Structure 1
């Protein structure tokens, strides 16, 4: 592999921002210093005026392969991730077929090794009847077990209390949950179906998939985790009420129950349904502004631990359907870092906090081996950003397969100029180098 020397970069890492040089060798960060300019390297990047961040670790994406590749696939979505500064992704099991056996799980890893430009890990899926397969999951090689405590594709709704008890009591690794109470949602759906038929306004989405549905399911997950001392991670928190379930009075590494918030729940709020309609339909729903404000407060005081995307693409044509048929999900992996950099510019959080919540804390929560920080001996997963350049989201610049964005026309005061994945310069100033693929992520468990 080429050695890479980055000089004069404003390195944002572990709560500080300092101008430093970084030498990359054999895929790893070899040296970090104040003056490495005399060091010989195959490639020299002068980063004067730019910020160097650890690559984003996105702990929740849906890349749709196998079975749904008309919407997305590992090749295009991983490439889009790299374009946006995400160097590692953790992908969900609700593909077709659902990832409910160890054999199917390994097939996804094999495919990623062939086509994914970013580093990768895949969740093992749980259902009401595959506990034996779940318990075979290797903690060192797999990010976690995914439990849908709310509806999903195929056979992945886990609504059997006995099965949930087994998963929470016996799971060998972190259990990540989608928490929405299915009975509550079905009851609300019936009311709105009776009132509107197929003409339900998109603005009703947070009323159908409401705060009660989220809290009832999340509180059950927490109850089970406390009962069995499980390692629980609740995904895409969207309500103020759920925040009471999480702690900020102990170090993250000591938490047994952690949480994630997604960029769209921090960016959008319910008054925008009239303008964006199904483009912002997702599960859990984007809710009223008061919930968004509470999420921001909890992110900054560390009740919320990780920022992710839940990148969930659908075709533009699929999204044009009426309420009941328009699928839920937003494609955001290419723009998540820029969204949070924009929020930092607006004073919502600091630049150091962006790095903490998008790189450091995912590494801590999932016990990722030698990633998530700019440290000597760690994998060189790095992103150079120019905070003095204005860019705009344009359809022609979208790399992921679906080709549309609810952010189209949005301006950012930042540009991702370089992305280094496991020591390989995968993207630089408009050009990709796909000669080397990403690595399978390992875990210190």
Structure 2
């Protein structure tokens, strides 16, 4: 099966140029000009549109198994593909928690049967599963996830001797959720006693504050440097943490410091920490309650600047759907997390239209750098021989977010009512046209990500 994409503005490796792209057997066979003479089974005229590498989201919660009233791998992968996200890495705080190799492979099996997007799953760490963590196959699993802050189930790792052992011996990259648990608990008790049920609009930012994030991120970084461990710190939410990270460059598929040495510690920013701020609690309330919290307005500006100077290496979502009824509960009962994966590219393209980040930098942070950071095999770039993971976008189009066009199972979005000035028209996953103008083709499923480690 051959597909020919003609006259696209290809955004790739810091260059935008008009090209044709030939897809064959799931891979990019040729990139060049005047390929229209090549016979193809399907031709797409992309005149006036931009062709991007499909986004790779390194942090999502698709809720399966055990929490399927909120979401499933099937529903959320569809939502991702509709937004131009072609690959995802999913977190282990499902039910049961992904704390054994058997449970990890169970999720891969579900994805192989139901996921429209390419997929990988993190192996979860706890205070008592060290031996299972050490069995992780670094060539087939994206990484090890450590919650260094409160989470669900048996996922908090706070035993110092366990953290030391995992950091000293991890077979692959460690990804951390960094919030200092004692700080969060102390502040929660303080504000509950102070306000009871009549909480201020921005209480979540006050409880899960800058101190909690900086304390935990600093501790994780110290462990990484002590043991020379490859560490990836997820969802940076404060400007205070930015001083921990070095600016860097990408070169030959690697994330490097400015002196040319490999970055030991990389960082991720999420779209909601670049888009919302604490003032939005006034209107959205629990809909934007997430961990770590969305904080005061100045933080998102500092985080964006850190993205631009490569202190923060990748952009993701931390997509974490809950039902509308769950989020409508009182603050103390409402769960943390929000659905984001369908509109993450729209958010970044909107920031680009506002002049805050270039289109080339958006592609770098959502595709190239993610592939480099996790050493993903043959994805994240528009290159001959690579898998054809592609998103075609109309930068003159419009995406009005409304319940009837939200594909996440939860059926709502914090972006409802927003009119983004861009539209994802086509998404190819491993060469398969999985989405075209609101129509899904689920006859072919996504593939398991592999890693060059």
- Give the TM-score normalised by structure 1: 0.99
Deviation digits for residues 297-345 of structure 1 (CA, Å, limit 9, x no counterpart) = 1010100000000000000000011111110001000000011000000
Q: Name 1:140's counterpart in structure 2.
A: 139
| Corresponding position of 1:398 | 406
2:446 equivalent in structure 1: 438
Show structure 2 runs of 5+ residues with no match.
257-261
Q: For each residue in 1:154-195, what CA deviation from the matched residue of structure 2 results, as whole angstroms up to 9, or x when unmatched?
A: 000000111000110000000000000000001101111101
Distance 2:343 2:187 in 1: 33
Counterpart of 2:181 in structure 1 is 182
Give the aligned partner of residue 271 of structure 1. 279
> What residue number does 2:331 align with?
323
Aligned length: 444
Give the aligned partner of residue 248 of structure 1. Answer: 247
Deviations 1:88-108 (A, max 9, x none): 000000000000000000000
Q: CA offset at residue 429 of structure 1?
A: 1.4
- Counterpart residue number, 1:313: 321
The Cα shift of 1:249 comes to 4.3
Distance 1:296 1:342 in 2: 14
CA distance in 2, matches of 1:202, 1:60: 27
What is aligned with 1:410?
418
User: Do 1:202 and 1:281's aligned partners in 2 also have CA atoms closer than 8 Å?
Assistant: no
Moved more, 196-205 or 65-74: 196-205
Conserved 8 A contact 1:315-1:402: yes
Aligned residue number for residue 207 of structure 1: 206
Residues in 2 aligned to 1:388 and 1:406: alpha-carbon distance in whole angstroms = 23
Alignment map for 1:423-434 (pairs within 5 Å)? 423-434=431-442
**Equivalent residues in 2 for 1:113-152, closer than 5 Å:** 113-152=112-151
C-alpha contact (below 8 Å) 1:202/1:323 kept by paired residues: no
1:350 counterpart = 2:358: yes
Q: Within 2, Cα distance between the matches of 1:199 and 1:232?
A: 40
- TM-score, normalization: structure 2? 0.97
For the aligned residue pairs, the C-alpha RMSD in angstroms reads: 0.7
Which residue of structure 1 aligns with residue 82 of structure 2?
Answer: 83
Q: Is the 8 A contact 1:199 1:323 kept in 2?
A: no
Counterpart for residue 14 of structure 2: 15
Note closer, same or farther for the CA distance 1:116–1:249 as it changes in structure 2 (3 Å cut).
closer
Aligned to 2:45: 46
Deviations 1:188-233 (A, max 9, x none): 0111110112332341111100000000000000000000000000
Partner SS, residue 202 of structure 2:
helix
Q: Kindly provide the CA deviation profile for residues 253-302 of structure 1, in whole angstroms up to 9, marking residues without a partner as x.
A: 52110000000000001111111100110000000011111001101010
Name the structure 2 match of 1:220.
219
Matched, 1:332 2:345: no
SS at 1:19 equivalent? strand
- CA positional deviation for 1:437: 0.2
Q: Which stretches in structure 1 are left out of the alignment for 5+ residues?
A: none
SS of the residue corresponding to residue 177 of structure 2 reads: strand
Q: Deviations over 1:91-132 (max 9, x none)?
A: 000000000000000000000000000000000000000000
Contact 1:201–1:323 (CA<8 Å) still a contact in 2?
A: no
Select which of 268, 271, 286 maps to 1:260: 268
**2:280 & 2:65 partners in 1: Cα distance?**
33
